[in-house]
Amino acid sequence: MSERGQYVRQVETLIASKELHGSDSLCKLLRYLANHALDHPGEPLKEYQIATEVFGRSSDFDPQLDSIIRVQAGRLRSKLAKYYESEGANDPLVVDLPKGTYLLSLHHRGRGGAKLLGGDLHERSLHGASLTSGRPGMAVAMLSSLLLISVAVIVLLLINRKSVDTASAHSNQSAPAAFEVFWKPFNSGSDEPWAVFSNAFFVGRPETGLRYYSPARDSGTSVWDHYTGVGEVLAVHSLDQVFGTLHRGLRVKRGSLFSLDDVKNNDLIFLGSPSENLTLMEIPGTTEFVFQRLSSGRRKGDLSIVNVHPEPGEAKEYLASPSSSPLTEDYAIVALMPGLNPSRSVMILAGTTTFGTQGAVEYVCRENSVQELLLRLAVSKTGELKPFEALLRVKVTRGVPVQTELVTLRKRNPL
């Protein structure tokens, strides 16, 4: 098989591996770097180029302000290393992404393994040069040229060394201490956590109109479960960015495809209320702040968050803006609890609307609000986060959560 064929085959093997399976962003980055190495061997890659062409960043992307490429490259290096230490331990070929560069290389396993792709261009050109023994003047000229080239290469290496060290420092930069403490239950296991987003059951047709499925009136009707809210989509993006700073991957799955076996065997982050994230109805949920549709009154049928044990000054029920008026306010829950398997953790991030869910996720993805929550829970920088339930108020403007504040919280009693 040709070098190119070996390279493509090894990259596809990596993408299908357990380490990279489910991480679309890293697979996309790996394919892009692989294609570049094949089509433009030895040609340097800029962070700006990767950011705009792979991750859809705008033309005003500034790598000094946005470290996404350094973070993603660091995650990819980690995944490659783990793969070759485990399921790829016997692969004869190794794909490598050396620190300080975005150029992939392919080489035979072992210290003495020959590099097939990604070798240094200067090294290849110098080794390919030959001295002419016929004329001393030509040999002297050739040696002088090679000396000048060597000096130039050394100068370039010294210049690039500083930028390489800077890039490495950024890629290895630690996440905020508040994130390390808050997300530790989902960052310490051997497997990446699942983000399970809601996708409620609908009936009707997308081209003519959809409505929520009702068991009483829609028995036997075909159900659509392929849709989710804007808030859940943006929430997954926010979580992915935070876990990137933690150098941790995140697996994503829609709620209707989830099973109880998945619940037992994984750390889980649920996005969306039980009214749409139906898996939540099958497992133990919150006990202090509970989602419930009102059975009477002016807002009968509306989804509310019931405050099971209201304290002085707290309301019994919390509802979003009425459906008859523009949505300007919603309420949401942030809750951490043990999983069905006590060694696993479950977090619920859910509003009564998709925008409340987005607000809840953004709250736990901002350093200052996470610090506030840890302070209210009396968790130190080196402490351990215990199960809790928190109620949030989310201000919404034109379909965008613009402000999220902590209303009250409860520490859950140990089981």
Banded pLDDT at 376 (limits 50, 70, 90): very high
**pLDDT score for 116:** 53
Higher pLDDT, 15 or 413: 15
Q: Is the pLDDT of residue 410 over 50?
A: yes
Banded pLDDT at 414 (limits 50, 70, 90): low
pLDDT tens digit sequence for 100-145: 788 888 777 764 444 555 544 333 322 333 333 334 444 444 434 4
CB 197, CB 348: distance < 8 Å: no
Banded pLDDT at 392 (limits 50, 70, 90): very high
pLDDT tens digit sequence for 344-358: 999 999 999 999 999
AA letter at 246: L
Q: How far apart are CA 192 and CA 185, in angstroms?
A: 11
Instruction: List the alpha helices (DSSP H) in 86-222.
Output: 121-128, 136-171, 177-182
Residues 6+ apart with CB under 8 A from 107: 93, 94, 96, 113, 114, 115, 116, 118
CB 273, CB 303: distance < 8 Å: yes
